[in-house]
Amino acid sequence: MARYNPKEVEPKWRAAWADADVFRATAEPGKPKYYVLEMFPYPSGRLHMGHVRNYSLGDVIARYKRARGFAVLHPMGWDAFGLPAENAAMERGVDPKAWTYENIDRMRAELKELGLAIDWSREFATCDVEYYGKQQAWFLDLFKAGLVYRKESVVNWDPVDQTVLANEQVEDGRGWRSGAIVEKRKLNQWFLRITDYADELVDALKTLDRWPDKVRTMQENWIGRSKGLKFSFEFAGAPPAGFDGGLEVYTTRPDTLFGASFVGVAPDHPLAEQLAQADPKVAAFIAECRKGGTSEAEIETAEKVGWDTGLKVKHPFDPAWELPVWIANFILMDYGAGAIFACPAHDQRDLDFARKYRLPVKPVVLPPGEDPGAFDVGDEAYTGPGTIFNSAFLDGKDVEAAKAEAIARIEAMGRGEGTTVYRLRDWGVARQRGWGCPVPVVHCAKCGVVALPKSALPVALPDDLDFGKPGNALARHPTWKHTTCPDCGGPAERETDTLDTFVDSSWYFARFADTGADEAISKEAVDYWLPVDQYIGGIEHAVLHLLYARFVTKALADQGQLSVREPFAGLFTQGMVTHESYRRQSGEWVEPREVEITTEGKTRRARLISTGEPVVIGDVEKMSKSKRNTVAPEEIFDVYGVDAARLFVLSDSPPERDAHWSTSGVEGAWRFVNRVWAEFDSQPASGEGDGGSDPAADELRVFTHRTVKAVTEAVESFRFNSGIARLYEFLNKLKEYPAAGANPAVLGSRQEALSAFARLMAPFTPHLAEECWTRIGGEGLVANAPWPEFDPALAQDAVKVLPVQVNGKRRGEVRAPAGAEPADVEKIVLDDPEITRRLEGLTIRKVIVVKDRIVNIVAA
């Protein structure tokens, strides 16, 4: 009996898979396909436990689907452009390209050590010119289609990273990477018209039934579609310059028009700016409004302030009714029309404002059951349903009917129209960075902005960029940008902006279908492989990456380059890997490996191994460098092997929840690995047996089939932790039927059980499974073996143990054949002496028999 040695066993099987080219994805017409993809990593240089978990999860699916007979595509690549490389360049004087490719080499080696069922022949990095050149090609297609445009716009400028950020990349007024407070700047920017697809992006969410509801809700909120009315107020008296058409406002509550109290414009509304030029006091007020911070706390506490412009507008339904025009700090210029009409009775912000400035508050929606004479609004606006009153021709209608009526009247008057407004903005894709995909256009003094012909692609980055200082290395390169105009042949300058790295990751899944194709996307290959059947990644990409990828898929489908309109049919968002954090009295964080934990009863203490100094046990948090609560995967692989690490990270918690890393946990997995090997190793080599009838052999066989059923269902439904628990039970059961001294029937039953066991564990612990498979004489590689089938008749006991309740409390149990009819079961129960003893002195009112489950006797 040989002790299991992962250091020898694991590399051996990885080599065997590679030699047999087992995981190469091959399109096989007539075979169902399955595309499993985990979000590709940024090549930071080191594998962390989050990667181990993410890629192990996908690997379970990939290996399982292969065993079920699918043609599986499970590729790997690198999201390789981006700021960390430039920062490394600046800090350490290294070349970003060399730094990135070195990181890729190191991480590829580590990932390969995980034993993943990946087709490595399809690997690429987004910084490969072969990849971003193709990206430039479809960018030009979108350009031609009018989906790319340039506009002078106020942008979010990150002063630390020296670049523009998309709205999605600004969190609480800070850059999502640098954490620096974002400034507003006016720049000429490149945009993609994602808003053209806003409706489809919302509507198609409901077709994504294998996406988490949470992610769909987040995207829906992000796009923020609202239906309402855009219309113009006519000024009473002479309109200000440029406002001959009146003052346009947007509302989602046209039903409350008769409750109007005032009209408000944003401080940066053109009308406000015009008034500010004429009146320094207005200018001062606007300047005051701009001061306020954008942080959550500041918005929460910011008081509503306003400025009465003295201007008046006419109510659209009653020209004699004049409303004052205010400038108000709570109105946002970049939503709707940047101006509103306020109905304080039914909008909290309007009410706060109206109370402060003593403006009228007139209720027009009567809550159900309220008396129209008595209903009044205090300090809380009523936003619920009700009947319209105080509103002329809208009186008596419900809210929805009144909205429709008001919109119809305004449209008939030619003053406005019902419209849809989105929170979603177009996607600003330009970045003033050198380490990215160049935008393939030139600026010609004569012809303006000229898109390059595809024959001029790829526009490759120069190799000698200077990343020694902040800013755009591409723009300051001495020669790169100088070129000729493809239209007139005159001198021209290349665009020095590069594309947001989210562009790189918005189509990589399509490139994987055929990484050698001349065109960006091979139609034939994507028609076979897409959509991705199972996409796996972190919830942090719920909006940004997943929304952009959906948009690009739709845009490319409209260019005829793809047939699917949704890239990811199934999405799974996995939890993070967490660990306790530890810090010294001095406040300094220390790594788990430096800490020793002792337990006294229920209290745990930690101290430094080196000095014995006590350390404080902190919260369980996401593993991060700053808290130093990380555990290096390679150290775990070194001690326990890859399989034990995979097994623990998969078994600890359900995949969608956080997994709490612990040394004792991985030790438990390691114990299991060894016990499994010991069990297989104890089976005689000629263990076929005769399969004859024997009660013990039959029992084991039933357990085998039941386990196959349970593990299959667990894998299918992403409950890997439960599936692994079934394998632990299976092993415990096997040990009750040891090979030593067993009769041939039991040995035969064991052989069947072990054969199933090896195949069931293969997705989780692939190396161990191969070793065990070979040990029991399995044919070829277990990676190529079919998934075990179960016999439904055998997957359950012939005789069921049914608990018997009296008035809902368990009072005993009876045995009945599986599938026994309720009447027969009732007879068995009422004949049972123990049960009848329990029922002494009681009258049976009712007997409820749930087939194969439970019996409940209602008695009094």
3-class DSSP assignment, residue 362:
coil
Least CB distance from residue 308 to RNA, whole Å? 17
State the Cα–Cα distance between residues 459 and 505, nearest whole angstrom. Answer: 19
Please list the alpha-helical segments (H only) found in 357-427: 399-413
* 844 binding RNA? (CB under 7 A): no
* 602 binding RNA? (CB under 7 A): yes
Least CB distance from residue 123 to RNA, whole Å? 31
Stretch that binds RNA, among 145-153, 632-640, 717-725, 788-796 (CB under 7 A): 717-725
Stretch that binds RNA, among 145-153, 279-287, 299-307, 763-771 (CB under 7 A): 299-307
* 292 binding RNA? (CB under 7 A): yes
Q: According to CB under 7 A, which one of 738, 803, 819, 822 is a site residue for RNA?
A: 803
* 762 binding RNA? (CB under 7 A): no
**Residue 693: DSSP 8-state:** -
Stretch that binds RNA, among 527-535, 629-637, 670-678, 775-783 (CB under 7 A): 670-678
- Other residues' Cβ atoms within 10 Å of the Cβ of residue 780: 11
In this complex, which beta carbon is closest to RNA, that of residue 377 or of residue 542?
Answer: 542
**What residues from 732 to 751 belong to the interface with RNA (CB under 7 A)?**
732, 735
What interhelical angle do 695-716 and 49-67 show, nearest 10? 120
**Do the Cβ atoms of 365 and 255 come closer than 8 Å?**
yes
Contacts of 789 (CB under 8 A, 6+ apart): 708
In this complex, which beta carbon is closest to RNA, that of residue 364 or of residue 513?
Answer: 364
- Other residues' Cβ atoms within 10 Å of the Cβ of residue 838: 17
State the Cα–Cα distance between residues 318 and 392, nearest whole angstrom. Answer: 10
In this complex, which beta carbon is closest to RNA, that of residue 30 or of residue 368?
Answer: 368
- Other residues' Cβ atoms within 10 Å of the Cβ of residue 274: 15
**What residues from 122 to 151 belong to the interface with RNA (CB under 7 A)?**
none
* 789 binding RNA? (CB under 7 A): no
Least CB distance from residue 170 to RNA, whole Å? 8
Stretch that binds RNA, among 137-145, 427-435, 455-463, 663-671 (CB under 7 A): 663-671
State the Cα–Cα distance between residues 618 and 606, nearest whole angstrom. Answer: 10
Q: According to CB under 7 A, which one of 479, 585, 586, 599 is a site residue for RNA?
A: 599
Residue found by looking up tokens 């939890």 in the block = 575
Stretch that binds RNA, among 194-202, 298-306, 523-531, 582-590 (CB under 7 A): 298-306
In this complex, which beta carbon is closest to RNA, that of residue 197 or of residue 330?
Answer: 330
**What residues from 166 to 195 belong to the interface with RNA (CB under 7 A)?**
171
Q: Using alpha carbons, select from 212, 156, 166 the residue that is nearest to residue 192.
A: 166
Least CB distance from residue 517 to RNA, whole Å? 36
**What residues from 811 to 840 belong to the interface with RNA (CB under 7 A)?**
811, 813
Least CB distance from residue 212 to RNA, whole Å? 9
Q: According to CB under 7 A, which one of 300, 379, 463, 779 is a site residue for RNA?
A: 300
In this complex, which beta carbon is closest to RNA, that of residue 446 or of residue 837?
Answer: 837
**Do the Cβ atoms of 164 and 158 come closer than 8 Å?**
yes
Q: According to CB under 7 A, which one of 468, 587, 601, 612 is a site residue for RNA?
A: 601
Least CB distance from residue 715 to RNA, whole Å? 13
In this complex, which beta carbon is closest to RNA, that of residue 167 or of residue 390?
Answer: 167
State the Cα–Cα distance between residues 327 and 304, nearest whole angstrom. Answer: 11
Residues 516-555 as x/- pattern, contact with RNA by CB under 7 A: -----------------------x--xx------------
* 336 binding RNA? (CB under 7 A): yes
* 245 binding RNA? (CB under 7 A): no
**Do the Cβ atoms of 790 and 713 come closer than 8 Å?**
no
**What residues from 621 to 660 belong to the interface with RNA (CB under 7 A)?**
651-654, 657-660
Sign of CA dihedral 613, 617, 618, 624: positive
Contacts of 653 (CB under 8 A, 6+ apart): 575, 659, 660, 721
3-class DSSP assignment, residue 398:
strand
Amino acid code (one letter) for 731 = L
Residues 202-221 as x/- pattern, contact with RNA by CB under 7 A: -----------xx--xx--x
677's enclosing H/E stretch is: helix 663-681
Rg (C-alpha) for the chain, rounded Å, is 34
Contacts of 180 (CB under 8 A, 6+ apart): 158, 159, 160, 161, 174
Query: Six-digit token pair at 191?
Result: 């945009």
Stretch that binds RNA, among 293-301, 392-400, 410-418, 439-447 (CB under 7 A): 293-301
Stretch that binds RNA, among 158-166, 493-501, 742-750, 807-815 (CB under 7 A): 807-815
In this complex, which beta carbon is closest to RNA, that of residue 123 or of residue 255?
Answer: 255
544's enclosing H/E stretch is: helix 544-558
Query: Six-digit token pair at 171?
Result: 């969190």
Q: According to CB under 7 A, which one of 665, 687, 691, 744 is a site residue for RNA?
A: 665
**What residues from 344 to 383 belong to the interface with RNA (CB under 7 A)?**
347-349
* 716 binding RNA? (CB under 7 A): no
3-class DSSP assignment, residue 108:
helix
Q: 847 pairs with which residues across the strands?
A: 857
Contacts of 28 (CB under 8 A, 6+ apart): 71
In this complex, which beta carbon is closest to RNA, that of residue 5 or of residue 217?
Answer: 217
Q: According to CB under 7 A, which one of 330, 427, 480, 640 is a site residue for RNA?
A: 330
Q: According to CB under 7 A, which one of 87, 178, 722, 774 is a site residue for RNA?
A: 722
64's enclosing H/E stretch is: helix 49-67
* 7 binding RNA? (CB under 7 A): no
* 228 binding RNA? (CB under 7 A): yes
* 288 binding RNA? (CB under 7 A): no
3-class DSSP assignment, residue 615:
strand
Q: How far is CA 759 from the centre of its chain?
A: 31
In this complex, which beta carbon is closest to RNA, that of residue 433 or of residue 579?
Answer: 579
State the Cα–Cα distance between residues 100 and 108, nearest whole angstrom. Answer: 12
**Do the Cβ atoms of 604 and 597 come closer than 8 Å?**
yes
* 420 binding RNA? (CB under 7 A): no
Residue found by looking up tokens 């692994």 in the block = 724
Count the site residues for RNA by CB under 7 A.
Answer: 86
Stretch that binds RNA, among 224-232, 481-489, 510-518, 698-706 (CB under 7 A): 224-232
Q: According to CB under 7 A, which one of 277, 479, 585, 664 is a site residue for RNA?
A: 664
Residues 257-276 as x/- pattern, contact with RNA by CB under 7 A: ---------x----------
Please list the alpha-helical segments (H only) found in 211-321: 213-223, 270-278, 280-291, 296-301
In this complex, which beta carbon is closest to RNA, that of residue 665 or of residue 691?
Answer: 665
In this complex, which beta carbon is closest to RNA, that of residue 300 or of residue 371?
Answer: 300
**Do the Cβ atoms of 621 and 629 come closer than 8 Å?**
yes
Residue found by looking up tokens 């009996």 in the block = 1
**What residues from 557 to 576 belong to the interface with RNA (CB under 7 A)?**
none
Q: According to CB under 7 A, which one of 329, 432, 496, 749 is a site residue for RNA?
A: 329
Least CB distance from residue 795 to RNA, whole Å? 12
Least CB distance from residue 656 to RNA, whole Å? 9
Q: How far is CA 395 from the centre of its chain?
A: 47
Q: How far is CA 214 from the centre of its chain?
A: 9
Range list of β-strands (E), 491-622: 491-494, 498-499, 534-538, 571-574, 577-583, 589-590, 595-600, 603-608, 614-622
Stretch that binds RNA, among 94-102, 523-531, 669-677, 689-697 (CB under 7 A): 669-677
